[in-house]
Amino acid sequence: MENENLKKGLLFGIIAIFTIGLQPVIANSRPKIIDPYLFAAITSLIQALIFLPAYFLERRNLKKGIEVEIDETQQLIDESLLNGWKKVSSIKLLVIIGFTFSIVPVLNYIGFELAGVINSSLIFKSEIIFA
Protein backbone atom coordinates (compact mmCIF):
# COMPACT_ATOMS: atom_id res chain seq x y z
CA MET A 1 0.00 0.00 0.00
CA GLU A 2 2.78 2.43 0.91
CA ASN A 3 4.65 1.62 -2.30
CA GLU A 4 1.50 2.40 -4.31
CA ASN A 5 1.06 5.71 -2.46
CA LEU A 6 4.73 6.56 -3.10
CA LYS A 7 4.31 5.98 -6.84
CA LYS A 8 1.11 8.00 -6.87
CA GLY A 9 2.76 10.86 -4.97
CA LEU A 10 5.75 10.93 -7.31
CA LEU A 11 3.46 10.95 -10.35
CA PHE A 12 1.40 13.83 -8.95
CA GLY A 13 4.59 15.72 -8.07
CA ILE A 14 5.95 15.37 -11.61
CA ILE A 15 2.64 16.53 -13.07
CA ALA A 16 2.66 19.51 -10.69
CA ILE A 17 6.17 20.54 -11.75
CA PHE A 18 5.22 20.59 -15.43
CA THR A 19 1.93 22.40 -14.90
CA ILE A 20 3.50 25.01 -12.61
CA GLY A 21 6.07 25.71 -15.31
CA LEU A 22 3.28 26.33 -17.83
CA GLN A 23 1.25 28.61 -15.57
CA PRO A 24 3.16 31.86 -16.32
CA VAL A 25 2.90 31.19 -20.05
CA ILE A 26 -0.85 30.65 -19.77
CA ALA A 27 -1.23 33.72 -17.58
CA ASN A 28 0.62 35.97 -20.00
CA SER A 29 -1.37 34.64 -22.95
CA ARG A 30 -4.43 36.20 -21.33
CA PRO A 31 -5.97 38.83 -23.60
CA LYS A 32 -5.86 42.29 -22.02
CA ILE A 33 -9.62 42.52 -22.45
CA ILE A 34 -10.16 39.75 -19.85
CA ASP A 35 -9.87 40.88 -16.25
CA PRO A 36 -7.35 38.93 -14.08
CA TYR A 37 -10.17 38.06 -11.66
CA LEU A 38 -12.25 36.48 -14.41
CA PHE A 39 -9.22 34.72 -15.86
CA ALA A 40 -8.35 33.28 -12.44
CA ALA A 41 -11.92 32.02 -12.08
CA ILE A 42 -11.85 30.44 -15.54
CA THR A 43 -8.54 28.66 -14.92
CA SER A 44 -9.76 27.44 -11.52
CA LEU A 45 -12.87 25.96 -13.15
CA ILE A 46 -10.74 24.25 -15.78
CA GLN A 47 -8.50 22.81 -13.06
CA ALA A 48 -11.56 21.59 -11.17
CA LEU A 49 -12.91 19.87 -14.28
CA ILE A 50 -9.58 18.14 -14.81
CA PHE A 51 -9.13 16.90 -11.23
CA LEU A 52 -12.75 16.19 -10.30
CA PRO A 53 -12.72 12.69 -11.88
CA ALA A 54 -9.55 11.81 -9.93
CA TYR A 55 -11.25 13.01 -6.75
CA PHE A 56 -14.31 10.84 -7.38
CA LEU A 57 -12.12 7.80 -8.15
CA GLU A 58 -10.25 8.20 -4.86
CA ARG A 59 -13.52 8.65 -2.99
CA ARG A 60 -14.96 5.51 -4.57
CA ASN A 61 -11.84 3.54 -3.60
CA LEU A 62 -12.17 4.75 0.00
CA LYS A 63 -15.82 3.64 0.10
CA LYS A 64 -14.86 0.21 -1.23
CA GLY A 65 -12.10 0.01 1.38
CA ILE A 66 -14.57 0.65 4.19
CA GLU A 67 -16.86 -2.12 2.97
CA VAL A 68 -14.09 -4.69 2.44
CA GLU A 69 -11.55 -4.04 5.21
CA ILE A 70 -11.61 -5.97 8.45
CA ASP A 71 -9.09 -3.72 10.24
CA GLU A 72 -11.16 -1.36 12.37
CA THR A 73 -8.54 1.39 12.67
CA GLN A 74 -8.18 1.60 8.88
CA GLN A 75 -11.97 1.78 8.57
CA LEU A 76 -12.01 4.72 11.00
CA ILE A 77 -9.27 6.49 9.04
CA ASP A 78 -11.11 5.96 5.74
CA GLU A 79 -14.40 7.11 7.28
CA SER A 80 -12.68 10.24 8.56
CA LEU A 81 -11.26 10.92 5.09
CA LEU A 82 -14.72 10.54 3.55
CA ASN A 83 -16.87 12.43 6.04
CA GLY A 84 -14.44 14.34 8.25
CA TRP A 85 -15.07 17.59 6.36
CA LYS A 86 -18.64 17.78 7.70
CA LYS A 87 -17.52 18.87 11.18
CA VAL A 88 -17.95 22.57 12.07
CA SER A 89 -14.24 23.11 12.72
CA SER A 90 -13.40 21.52 9.37
CA ILE A 91 -15.91 23.70 7.54
CA LYS A 92 -14.31 26.84 8.99
CA LEU A 93 -10.91 25.62 7.87
CA LEU A 94 -12.25 24.81 4.39
CA VAL A 95 -13.69 28.33 4.07
CA ILE A 96 -10.31 29.84 4.98
CA ILE A 97 -8.50 27.55 2.53
CA GLY A 98 -11.04 28.34 -0.21
CA PHE A 99 -10.63 32.07 0.34
CA THR A 100 -6.85 31.78 0.25
CA PHE A 101 -6.80 29.66 -2.88
CA SER A 102 -9.15 32.05 -4.65
CA ILE A 103 -7.04 35.14 -3.90
CA VAL A 104 -3.63 33.64 -4.73
CA PRO A 105 -4.29 33.00 -8.46
CA VAL A 106 -5.46 36.59 -8.95
CA LEU A 107 -2.29 37.91 -7.33
CA ASN A 108 -0.23 35.45 -9.38
CA TYR A 109 -1.72 36.64 -12.67
CA ILE A 110 -1.18 40.27 -11.81
CA GLY A 111 2.41 39.46 -10.79
CA PHE A 112 3.01 37.43 -13.96
CA GLU A 113 1.93 40.38 -16.04
CA LEU A 114 4.36 42.66 -14.21
CA ALA A 115 7.34 40.25 -14.09
CA GLY A 116 7.12 38.54 -17.47
CA VAL A 117 7.02 34.91 -18.49
CA ILE A 118 10.64 33.91 -17.96
CA ASN A 119 11.04 35.44 -14.50
CA SER A 120 7.69 34.04 -13.37
CA SER A 121 8.54 30.57 -14.60
CA LEU A 122 11.92 30.65 -12.82
CA ILE A 123 10.25 31.76 -9.60
CA PHE A 124 7.77 28.90 -9.71
CA LYS A 125 10.43 26.32 -10.55
CA SER A 126 12.59 27.44 -7.62
CA GLU A 127 9.56 27.54 -5.30
CA ILE A 128 9.34 23.74 -5.46
CA ILE A 129 12.96 23.43 -4.34
CA PHE A 130 12.52 25.69 -1.30
CA ALA A 131 9.01 24.59 -0.28
Instruction: Give the Cα separation of 58 and 56 in Å (integer).
Output: 5
A 10 A CB-CB count for 23 gives: 18
Measure the CA–CA gap between 1 and 98, rounded to whole angstroms.
Answer: 30
Average pLDDT across the chain, whole number: 78
Give one DSSP letter per residue of 4-57, joined into a string.
HHHHHHHHHHHHHHHHHHHHHHHHHTS-TTS-HHHHHHHHHHHHHHHHHHHHHH
Q: What is the pLDDT of residues 36-75, one digit of tens each?
A: 778 877 877 887 888 888 888 888 887 777 777 667 777 6
